[in-house]
Amino acid sequence: MFIDQVEITVEAGSGGKGAATFRREKYVPRGGPSGGDGGRGGSVVLQVDANLSTLLDLHYRRHFRAGDGQDGQPKKRAGRDGHDVIIQVPPGTIVTDLETGNVLADLVHDGEKVIVARGGAGGRGNLHFTTPVHQAPHFAELGEPGEKKRLRLDLKLVADVGILGYPSVGKSTLISAVSAARPRIADYPFTTLVPHLGLVRMGPSESFVLADMPGLIEGAHAGAGLGDRFLRHVERTRLLIHMLDCSGMTGREPYQDFCNLQWELALHSPGLAARPQIVALNKMDICADLETVERLEEALRRDGWEVYRISAATHMGVWELMHAAWRRLQALPKEPGDADCASASDVPVIIRGPVADDSRTWTVSREESGTWVVSGRGLERLVLRTDLHNDEAVKRLQHTLERAGVHQKLRDMGAVDGDTVRIGDAEFEFWDEDLRGPDLGRRRRKGEPGS
């Protein structure tokens, strides 16, 4: 079964909690804090496997979850990291985040990897929070939850040369004549229901990948026939072989067929119609009107196309066509040429690079309900990793927010006693007392009773 599009859910592991323990050994007074760090949660990774040509395995398994990190241990022992989950995908897989609509990765080369869900960081043990003033902290950090995403995987087969044409023009016969591929061959339309790949050997160490595409008809870009489902596979090819049936038995005009499919390619993607092409006039062994073929060949050459007469069934002219394709490939870029065929509706690709450090940036806004919202990656992570049921941990959080200027900013914007302040998923009550200074009293997390 050929599957070229699936939707999956990936969930990275959560980080382990840091340990709040103390060294207790005989003859060792004042042992001090010894809590180890929690382990990092496992990540979900996509990796290209050149031996795969379909997303069939992911059709039956749609949910993947990496392992959680182990909690920190006494005696400064860190918890074990969670195990990663590596999902094998075929070359040409495009990964899209369904929530944002952004393309996260375009995986082409064998062995290429991308992390699609990153595991949460482990919490630090109480060993990290000792100070000259506070030498015995009884709290540690919590681990961060791992990322969870819904992804769509789209497969665009990676091939050097693609064969396209109307149904029953001989595409499958050609690929079976020059490679070990054995697609179904019959004298009825749409015999080929899925793309087929074949390796064409031109010498001891010279070869290229040939793709046989299902037949296209007029209106394919809008879903006619097999529709545009397989047109996207042609986008990965560097060169196209456009096959025409010159037997005279179809009742169609070959030149009109050629023009129709050129128009379909342009409607699907302007860049695809501009892809280098070679025209193959097939079924010359049973052609009864050579004069019509000569006129067709003259018209195509006049338009600038390279034309070859072949018979895929008898192998006449087949290898001359393959050698012509091989020569053309040597002058073309090695990378799949789909960069110039992106349609206007394509979503932007996220360029993976160094992540900007926005941990110190935060903003304060107020919702219509009156709730104050403090937004900032660093502060949200701080609240997320704070054990809000531990008084010492909450005091450290309050001190950090005060030093960051959050309390002063809220006061300047008009926050008064009793106002609700939300940071991430946690909600607090704002107090502003002259003697004790501003404070955010811990109230509740979202989903807890009273929230």
pLDDT digits (tens, 9 = 90+) for 394-418: 888 888 888 888 888 888 888 888 8
- Calculate mean pLDDT across residues 80-97: 92
pLDDT for 414: 87
pLDDT for 109: 85
pLDDT for 216: 61
In tens, the pLDDT along 103-136 reads 898 888 888 899 999 999 999 999 999 888 888 8
Q: Assess contact for 2 and 194: CB atoms under 8 A.
A: yes
Structure tokens at 159: 């091939």
Report the share of the chain in percent with pLDDT over 70: 82
Q: Average pLDDT over the chain, rounded to whole?
A: 81
Report the C-alpha gap between 155 and 376 in whole angstroms. Answer: 37
- Highest mean pLDDT of the ranges 77-81, 216-220, 328-332: 77-81
Domains 1-155 and 161-341 share a fold: no
97-112 burial: b if 16+ Cβ within 10 Å, else e? beeeeebbbbbbeeee
Q: What is the SS3 string spanning the chain?
A: CCCCEEEEEEECCCCCCCCCCECCECCECCCCECCCCCCCCCCEEEEECCCCCCCHHHHHCCEEECCCCCCCECCCECCCCCCCEEEEECCCEEEEECCCCCEEEEECCCCCEEEEECCCCCCCCHHHHCCCCCCCCCCCCCCCCCCEEEEEEEECCCCCEEEECCCCCCHHHHHHHHCCCCCCCCCCCCCCCCCEEEEEEEECCEEEEEEECCCCCCCHHHCCCCHHHCHHHHCCCCEEEEEEECCCCCCCCHHHHHHHHHHHHHHHCHHHHCCCEEEEEECHHHCCCHHHHHHHHHHHHHCCCEEEECECCCCECHHHHHHHHHHHHHCCCCCCCCHHHCCCCCCCECCCCCCCCCCCCCEEEECCCCCEEEECHHHHHHHHCCCCCCHHHHHHHHHHHHHHCHHHHHHHCCCCCCCEEEECCEEEEEEEECCCEEEEEEEEECCCCCC
Report the C-alpha gap between 171 and 189 in whole angstroms. Answer: 12
- Calculate mean pLDDT across residues 353-374: 76
Neighbours of 245 (CB within 10 A): 20
Structure tokens at 244: 């025409």
Q: Is the pLDDT of residue 223 over 50?
A: no
Residue type, 159: A
Q: Please give the residue that has the higher pLDDT: either 421 or 433.
A: 421
pLDDT for 212: 81
pLDDT for 2: 61
Weakest mean pLDDT among 89-98, 242-251, 349-358, 367-376? 349-358
- Highest mean pLDDT of the ranges 64-68, 201-205, 208-212: 64-68
- Superfamily of chain region 1-155: GTP1/OBG domain (2.70.210.12)
- Calculate mean pLDDT across residues 421-444: 69
In tens, the pLDDT along 133-188 reads 888 899 999 999 999 999 999 887 777 888 888 887 888 888 888 887 665 554 54
Cα→Cα distances 440→37, 146, 266, 376, 386, Å: 27, 27, 61, 17, 14
pLDDT for 349: 40
Report the C-alpha gap between 243 and 214 in whole angstroms. Answer: 12
Prediction pTM value: 0.69
Neighbours of 214 (CB within 10 A): 24
In tens, the pLDDT along 244-301 reads 988 887 778 888 888 888 888 888 777 777 889 999 999 898 887 888 889 999 999 9
Q: Which long-range contacts (CB under 8 A, 24 or more apart) does 446-450 make?
A: none
In tens, the pLDDT along 348-361 reads 344 344 444 456 78
CATH class of the 363-445 domain in this structure = alpha beta
In tens, the pLDDT along 310-325 reads 998 899 999 999 999 9
Q: Assess contact for 37 and 230: CB atoms under 8 A.
A: no
pLDDT for 197: 77
Q: Please give the residue that has the higher pLDDT: either 387 or 194.
A: 387
Report the C-alpha gap between 91 and 112 in whole angstroms. Answer: 9
Burial (0-12, 13-18, 19+ Cβ within 10 Å), 17: buried
Q: Please give the residue that has the higher pLDDT: either 438 or 67.
A: 67
Query: How many residues are recorded in the chain?
Result: 451
Report the C-alpha gap between 261 and 333 in whole angstroms. Answer: 24
pLDDT for 279: 93
Q: Which long-range contacts (CB under 8 A, 24 or more apart) does 332-336 make?
A: 332/238, 332/239, 332/276, 333/238, 335/108, 336/92, 336/108, 336/158, 336/235, 336/236, 336/237, 336/238
Q: Please give the residue that has the higher pLDDT: either 438 or 135.
A: 135
* Sequence ranges of the domains in the chain: 1-155, 161-341, 363-445
Sheet containing 426-433, strands listed edge to edge, beginning at the edge strand earlier in sequence: 363-366, 372-375, 420-423, 426-433, 437-445
CATH class of the 161-341 domain in this structure = alpha beta
Confidence of residue 222 (pLDDT cuts 50, 70, 90): very low
In tens, the pLDDT along 25-52 reads 777 777 789 999 999 999 999 999 988 8
Q: Is the pLDDT of residue 17 over 90?
A: yes
